[in-house]
Structure 1
Amino acid sequence: MAIILLQSPPPKLEEVQQNVFDNGTLDFLRNLHEKFDTQIEELYRKRLQRTVESKNKASLEFKQSPERSDKSWTIAELPSRLQNRHLDLGDVSASNTAHFVSALNEDVQGIQVDFDDGHCPTWRNQLVAYQNINLVVNGKLQGAPLNISMCPVLMLRPRAWNMIEHNILIDGKEAIGPLVDFGVLMYHNAKKLYETKSGPYFYLSKLEGSFEAKLWNDIFVWTQEALGLPQGTIKACVLIENIISTFELEEILYALKEHSLGLNCGIWDYCASIIAKFGERKEYLLPDRNKYVNMGQHFLSSYLRLVVSVCHERGAPATGGMAAAMLRPGARADDRESKAIINKILEAKLKEIESGVDGFMVYDSRVVPYVNEIWKKHGSTPNQIQRKILVDVTARDLLTIPSGGVTLVGLRHNVAVSILFIYHWLAGIGHFFYSGHVEDSATAEISRAQIWQWLRFQPPLEDEPSKRVTAALVEKTAASFSAHAHKNLCRSNAERKRLTAARYMSMELFLTRNPPEFITSYLNDNHKFRTLHNKALFSNL
């Protein structure tokens, strides 16, 4: 089986590429793909089949399995560094060296080192991120602690299964994004992380059920054997970001039993998955997300309570989502505006603590001291796993969409987030700041999915009842926002061209008859993105 890198090293990264993709790494990636290629193809086939079936099936049912009915099993005991994960920093792309170093010095338990929602996988970004992780693990990253055991735990988050690595060819086939990330990170860092009792630990994104968890578990078992690590060394937290997975929580935990680090709730990818699976039916019309969709809504509070209940029953931690609200750039945490934002974050996170979660994420590090204080007051133990929370959550609880309408304000916000995400992605940036929040692929996903769905059903606007959501209104909104952004955002001709491209690509997503399930797949596979960031020099390594 031959492996070929299709990219020449970016300027000043020649040595980095050579070190990251040395012969040992290439052999490991080749063997990893050879071992699991058939199972991954089966995963893609099952996803396609499930998507087709969901268009005709009225609902979902909880999976019935021996592991669900057997109440005796629990996940394997967690290592000491994973007993307390009250607070992680989220959306930390290691390709942004300054942000990564800053996160490594914060008073948090973990860092979501992201190759998925908050990261754009240009070849340059991949190389810099891999290199920075290698450096910090070996105590050589300038400005970071000299020993990895002194850093917050690195919660490495590879790309999700929908992402292809177009820059690597293995036996004539493009490589699988998550396998590349996982393989590179494990090959270079696993032994050092194990020796310092600091990992390797992972977040697993966008799984669709226990079959996919079982595949990851098989990958973990094979990799540990290949690298000479004790079985059970790898630990992974599954992000429950897909409606399918909510009906297989116990089966997911069981599939990863020896390697499980519990489950995580991610609201916006989760809501977008409901539209992706059932959005062509009017009973699943999701109202304005800023006004009507939050963790207080019954379908989402049921989802959170179910995750907590199942996790605690099986001895696993349950973690909540990320607080995306940010203080104004340069603002002091004690000024009036900042205090209001911080209080709103604390209010939401306190509700999650009271619901039984064992931790969650924030983005803005200026919020960290205040969140730590509420954990000191309300989290006297490293976790809340001992709290057994009995729930009786039904399929109807999870699938009944909240009432509410569509607003022009909500439409404008969703259009803006969609366009700006694509604009930044084309620039090689995976997240950005808008209207007081950090935005990433998860918020872009729900934004563009909602607009697509609203166009299908053309609901009236609450704030202008005489108007409905139409293609003409969406186009007018996109044109108006783009004109504003041209004046306030773009300083060069290249930026103006990129914004124009983002506007038209967004409209394509809004209007398409059969939308792609993931915005990142659409962008990663798009010739515009690949032309901007691929300086190919085909070289057989």
Structure 2
Amino acid sequence: MSAPAPSPLAIVDAEPLERQGEVLTDAALAFLAELHHRFTPRRDELLARRAERRAEIARTSTLDFLPETAHIRDDPDWRVAPAPPALEDRRVEITGPTDRKMTINALNSGAKVWLADFEDASAPTWANVIGGQLNLIDAYERRIDFTSPEGKSYALRPDDVLATVVTRPRGWHLDERHLRAADGRPVPGALVDFGLYFFHNARRLLAQGKGPYFYLPKTESHLEARLWNDVFVFAQDHLSLPQGTIRATVLIETITAAYEMDEILYELRDHASGLNAGRWDYLFSIVKNFRDGGPGFVLPDRNAVTMTAPFMRAYTELLVRTCHKRGAHAIGGMAAFIPSRRDPEVNAVAFDKVKADKDREASDGFDGSWVAHPDLVPVARASFDAVLGDRPHQKDRLREDVRVTAAELIDVASLDAKPTHQGLRNAVQVGTRYIEAWLRGLGAVAIFNLMEDAATAEISRSQIWQWVNAGVVFENGEKATADLVRKVAAEELAAIREEVGEDAFAAGKWSQAHDLLLRVALDADYTEFLTLPAYELLG
């Protein structure tokens, strides 16, 4: 068979930005068009398959390991490709959006890896999408600097201490409305973020002794991992690069993916470098998939679901065992605390909690973990240094003691904690404040000394939806109803108005955020991702 005819250039449908021509070259746009032509139809099929699987979960209220892939799980011999030198030691990874200041601070942070985020920590304005690509190119060319409004200057440190970049594109469900193909359809945001970054930086990174490395978000099945692998194979061939140049770490942040960890690594085995345990999106996925599963699936307040909960322990220990059995890195969860400038006692208590969390991860066998702020890098590093010493990882710890059943992964009913009225109020507070910032183009937002991103807003609005639809009765005797949620939301909006002042309130997106939160938390038809309707409101 002859190869498909080349697709025309992708079409830019946006007001031009300064320097965007450096990113949106004819060759880069042609590459995006070809990615869209080859892979968007399969993306569409897999999104439809997600809906079918969700309908099956609604019917059965259960999940199991796939019988048709048992031979992959049972085969003791296969391994993923060895890690490249730049990804051998991943003991501390810092996460954050690709704005100019964060790019400099993350690379300078002392972390081994920076997760450069085009996904949950980035609101996909056109300026953020293109500006983030420019910032990464400028960083690799060492021509990046930044001066804050207060006059503080930022610049890169010497190369030998800079973090290795692992870029996270958007999930498969999001489109990029500003780039359309010849068929008139928007190009998936995942292909835009991946394609532009890979096209412009793959050879540049190889010349620097590193490579194009990626985090893959919100994967729901090994078939979605297979699609990514096929994208990688095509992209490397397109630039005449060796197969295996790309390396990918998959976030196991959906409940369905937790049942397919072996299979996901297998599909990506020539390009895989590890799996990551993402807490908030994982809980969001449990609520989303089992939202009508009855009282046994009702989660308590999000802060009451720690990583020591039995079903969370099952998930994380299975992840470590699976990764190490296959020669892959196991990367732990997020420490989201943002240090206070005014309260050292708050900092001391929080740092102790971070240390305990990272000590647990290191002792469980994880090879590294995430932090959201540079001040947490030395805390996490100390925990992993104590276990690893001079070793880059502990993949030799096979955790053959771990035995996890299908039922244990969804044993939400084993939790003692229950939803509380304060938990409802906190969900409204966090959801409103985060959505307002997102609508202004900010994807990573400090709220109550925690760095919040889209995943925390998702779990907040999903818990409200679940509690209302389950008829939860709080400890004060009040029942979770739509009217109660509207009352709390109105109180919180009034409190925000008083807190920020009339001028700032009027200049913000507070009413839009309030209305959108109520829409995605109270509509009878559950919205799959709040970022889908939010994107329609984004400037």
**TM-score with structure 2 setting the length:** 0.93
Tell me, yes or no, if the aligned pair for 2:436 and 2:508 is still in contact at 8 Å: no
**Structure 1: where are the runs of 5+ without partners?**
534-541
Following TM superposition, by how much is the alpha carbon of 1:494 offset from its aligned partner in structure 2, in angstroms?
6.7
Q: Is the contact made by 1:149 and 1:197 (CA closer than 8 Å) also made in structure 2?
A: no
**For 1:46-57, what aligned pairs fall within 5 Å after superposition?**
46-57=49-60
Matched pairs, number: 516
Partner letter of residue 333 of structure 2?
Answer: G
Alignment counterpart, residue 32 of structure 2, candidates 29, 32, 47: 29
Match of 2:14 in 1: 7
Q: Give, in angstroms, the shift of residue 146 of structure 1.
A: 7.3
Output the amino acid matched with 2:503. Answer: S
Pairs within 5 Å for 1:160-309: 160-171=171-182, 172-282=184-294, 283-291=296-304, 293-309=305-321
Measure, in 2, the Cα distance between the counterparts of 1:406 and 1:42: 37
- Please say if 1:87 is aligned against 2:97: no
1:489 aligns with 2:500: yes
Distance 1:112 1:474, change over 3 A: same
1:493 CA drift (Å): 6.3
Pairing 1:120-159 to 2, within 5 Å after superposition? 120-142=123-145, 143-145=154-156, 150-159=161-170
CA displacement at 1:372 relative to structure 2: 2.0
What is the distance in 2 between the residues matched to 1:411 and 1:429? 24
Distance 1:497 1:25 in 2: 36
Q: Judge conservation of contact 1:221–1:231 (CA < 8 Å) in 2.
A: yes
Displacement of 1:378: 2.0
RMSD after superposition = 1.5
Kindly state the Cα deviation for residue 185 of structure 1 after the two structures are TM-superposed: 0.2
Alignment CA distance shift 1:217-1:288 (3 Å):
same
- Is 1:364 aligned to 2:373, yes or no? yes
Equivalent in 419, 432, 441 of residue 419 of structure 1: 432
Q: Which aligned runs of 4 or more in structure 1 are off by greater than 6 angstroms?
A: none
In structure 1, which of residues 334, 341, 350 is the aligned counterpart of residue 359 of structure 2? Answer: 350
Provide the residue aligned with 1:501 in structure 2. Answer: 512
Give the match for residue 149 of structure 2: none
2:250–2:275 Cα contact (<8 Å) kept:
yes
Shift of 1:370: 2.5
Structure 2 gap ranges (5+): 1-6, 146-153
The residue matched to 2:378 in structure 1 has which SS? Answer: helix
Q: Following the alignment from structure 1 to structure 2, what is the Cα–Cα distance between the partners of residues 236 and 149?
A: 23
Q: Counterparts in 2 of 1:328-407, with a 5 A limit?
A: 328-329=340-341, 335-380=344-389, 381-390=391-400, 391-401=402-412, 402-407=415-420
Q: Distance in 2 between matches of 1:39 and 1:260?
A: 21
Q: Is the 8 A contact 1:139 1:147 kept in 2?
A: no
**Equivalent AA in structure 1 for residue 122 of structure 2:** H
Q: Which moved more, 1:365-374 or 1:105-114?
A: 365-374
CA pair 323-146 structure 1, distance change in 2 beyond 3 A = closer
Quote how far apart the aligned CAs of 1:521 are. Answer: 2.0
Task: Give the superposition deviation at 1:489.
Answer: 2.6
TM-score of the two chains, using structure 1 as the length reference: 0.93
Percent of aligned positions that are identical: 34
Q: Distance in 2 between matches of 1:321 and 1:369?
A: 16
Bigger drift between 476-485 and 193-202 goes to 193-202
1:2-22 CA distance string (max 9 Å, x none) = 421110124xx2xx1111101
Task: Output the amino acid matched with 2:433.
Answer: L
Q: Deviations over 1:361-412 (max 9, x none)?
A: 1112112223222222222221110001021101111111123321111111
Separation in structure 2 between the aligned mates of residue 511 and residue 425 of structure 1, nearest angstrom: 20
Name which of 102, 110, 114 aligns with 1:99. 102
DSSP-derived class of the 1:328 partner = coil
Match of 1:478 in 2: 489
In the alignment, is the contact (CA less than 8 A) between 1:136 and 1:144 conserved in 2?
Answer: no
Q: Is the 8 A contact 2:108 2:161 kept in 1?
A: no
Deviation string 1:403-462 (CA, Å, 9 cap, x unpaired) is 332111111110111111110111111121111211111111100000000000121112
Q: Classify the secondary structure of the residue corresponding to 1:7.
A: coil
- After alignment, is 419-428 or 486-495 more displaced? 486-495
Instruction: Compute the displacement of 1:148 (Å).
Output: 5.8
- In structure 1, C-alpha distance between the alignment counterparts of 2:24 and 2:191, rounded to whole Å: 14
Find out whether 1:515 has 2:526 as its counterpart.
yes
Change (3 A) 1:220 1:330: farther
